[in-house]
Each structure stands twice: as structure tokens, then as C-alpha cells.
Homo-oligomer: A and B are copies of this chain.
Amino acid sequence: MLDPVARVRRFNRAVTSAVGALDGSFLGRGRPLGAARVLNAIGHGRSDVAEIRDYLGLDSGLMSRLLRSLEDEGLIETAAREDDARRRMAKLTRAGRREFAAYEALSNAQAEGLLAQPSQREALLAAMDLIASALTRERISLDEMDPRGEEARYCLGEYYAELGRRFSQGFDVSLSRDPDAKDMRRPRGAFLVAMSDTLPIGCVGLKGTDHGYAEIKRLWVAPAARGLRLGRRLMDAAESAARELGITLLRLDTNSALPEAGQLYRSTGWREIPRFNDDPYPDLFFEKRL
């Protein structure tokens, strides 16, 4: 009972019964689960029929029948795709949106229910993030995004908060050289966010300058995602983006209070150089030629 496998199996049992309850509540809306799942996939923005079929693992005949039944209920409309009339697109009607909202409410209620214990709320959420990140590690995608977008701002907020915790003197963004957003957008630079499902769990910025090099800024990995080698993946992607933009020299600054970062840079071809700016926080400076 005390070995790791037994602990995982206990976890499995606990979550299957908790998560299984959702299926039960879905059935309460008087529609078979298969149809409910298709409706929800469409509601979540999947419109391509083949993609939904693939996502839900359905046979094409079965899928077709489920679409028909949802159409008969007046919840969806389908139409051939303009660029390829063999493929079909599905979208919700007004009634379908209402019905989808009802399913969403059930899902949200179930999620709230899992969090019901207020004393444990934060610990529970952190544990869920950790597990979800670990289980979906193969499906973490690195997406180029606007540094002003919601996901990017979330990452930066978490990054600053962490620096505040780890620097003995704290961290005040306004004292640091906050990079201009347009320096981290094409064609001058780029901003990458690591997404696990819908949650941003890491980021890195590539900031263009007018001094013959570009800088790597704001490398951050969520605590729940550490140990998945995500930092390395983000750095690799940032370097690729730099190459695409014709950048041949990269620099970055960091702080010795972040030893894991320094270690990553040293092990991936960066070499230490003298201070090249007057930002008050960094005390370590690196350079890499591409």
C-alpha cells in the first residue's frame, strides 16, 4: 500500500469516481453521452467534423449519426467547407449555444465541487496543475504570441512575483528595463508562450535591439512544470526564431540567485561575458553566437 504504484492507483480510483460523476450529470440533460460530447466539442470551438471525430475517437458512421441527431434537435448546423466541399463544418445554432452553456455550467459546478474545501484550495490547485502538466507533457506546445496578450501578461506577472520571492532585496519591475512590447514582436523579436492545454506554463522573450545583437528576456517556467526540460525547449525555440529573423548574436543577463538558469545557459553553449548594461538586478551576463 505504501509503494509508489499503489499510491498512483489510489489516486486513479479517487479521480475516476470524482470525474465520472460529471458523465452522470451530463446524462441528466436527456441526451446520450456521445451526442453530448460532440455538442461540447463543437461548443469549444472545434468545427471541422473530421477533427472532432479524431479528437473523440469515433467511427465515421457513428459520428455522422450523432451529428444528424444534434441537427434534428436543432442544436447545430452543418455546411460543406468552402475550400473543400467533401469536408463538413459544424456550428452551434442559438439553441445549441444555450444547451452548450448548460453543459458548461454543469462542468463548472463539478469543478467547484472538487475545490469545496477552502482550507486546501490553493494546495489542491497547485497539485492539480502539477499533475496536469506532467500528464500532458507530450502535448505542451510553444506558441508565438503577442507580449501584451492575456497569456503573456499572466506569465510575466508570475515571473515578476517569483523574482520578488527569490531576490533577497525583492524585485520592482519599474527599476528594471521593461522591454518595449514591439521589440518582442516580429520582425524585431518574438515572444513565446508554452501552453499545456489552455494553461500558460512558461515563456521566453526575444528582444531586438539596435546594437547588433538580440536579447533573451523573461525566461520563466511555472513551478508545476519544472523537471520537464521546458526551459531548454523554450530556449531552443527562441534561438530558432532568432535564426529565422537573421539574428546572429544573442545576449542575456541573469542573477546568481537563479542557479538553475545559469546552469542551463552554461550547458547549452552560452559563455559568460562582462556586464553589458546597467540594469540593477542582473549580476551574470552571457552571450551566444548562432
- Chain A residues within 8 Å of B, Cβ to Cβ: 1-2, 4-19, 22, 107-108, 110-112, 114-115, 117, 119-121, 123-132, 134-137, 150-151, 154, 196-200, 226-228
Highest count of chain B CB atoms <10 Å: which of A112, A126, A135: A135
Decide: A131 and B127 in contact? CB cutoff 8 A: yes
Q: Whole-angstrom distance between the alpha carbons of A127 and B133 in the complex?
A: 12
Decide: B132 and A197 in contact? CB cutoff 8 A: no
Residues from chain B with Cβ under 8 Å of A123 in the complex: 130, 227
Decide: A114 and B151 in contact? CB cutoff 8 A: no
- A–B pairs, 17, beta carbons within 8 Å: A1-B200, A4-B115, A7-B125, A7-B199, A8-B112, A8-B128, A9-B107, A12-B22, A12-B107, A14-B132, A15-B131, A16-B19, A17-B135, A114-B134, A117-B228, A127-B128, A127-B130
Highest count of chain B CB atoms <10 Å: which of A110, A128, A228: A128
Decide: B132 and A131 in contact? CB cutoff 8 A: no
Decide: A135 and B18 in contact? CB cutoff 8 A: yes
Decide: A131 and B11 in contact? CB cutoff 8 A: yes
Smallest beta-carbon distance A153→chain B, Å = 10
Decide: B114 and A8 in contact? CB cutoff 8 A: yes
CB closest residue in chain B, given A196: B10
Q: Whole-angstrom distance between the alpha carbons of A18 and B197 in the complex?
A: 14
Copies of this chain, whole number:
2
Decide: B117 and A11 in contact? CB cutoff 8 A: no
Decide: A132 and B11 in contact? CB cutoff 8 A: yes
Smallest beta-carbon distance A288→chain B, Å = 25
Q: What are the 7 A-B residue pairs with the smallest beta carbon separation, nearest first?
A: A127-B127, A8-B111, A11-B128, A119-B227, A14-B132, A120-B227, A14-B135
Q: Whole-angstrom distance between the alpha carbons of A19 and B15 in the complex?
A: 9
Smallest beta-carbon distance A95→chain B, Å = 24
Decide: B130 and A134 in contact? CB cutoff 8 A: no
Decide: B135 and A130 in contact? CB cutoff 8 A: no
Q: Whole-angstrom distance between the alpha carbons of A19 and B9 in the complex?
A: 10
Residues from chain B with Cβ under 8 Å of A111 in the complex: 4-5, 8-9, 12
Q: Whole-angstrom distance between the alpha carbons of A17 and B112 in the complex?
A: 20
CB closest residue in chain B, given A124: B134
Smallest beta-carbon distance A136→chain B, Å = 5
Q: Whole-angstrom distance between the alpha carbons of A196 and B2 in the complex?
A: 12
Residues from chain B with Cβ under 8 Å of A198 in the complex: 1, 6, 10
Highest count of chain B CB atoms <10 Å: which of A5, A11, A16, A17: A11
Residues from chain B with Cβ under 8 Å of A11 in the complex: 128-129, 131-132
Decide: B134 and A117 in contact? CB cutoff 8 A: yes
Smallest beta-carbon distance A33→chain B, Å = 12
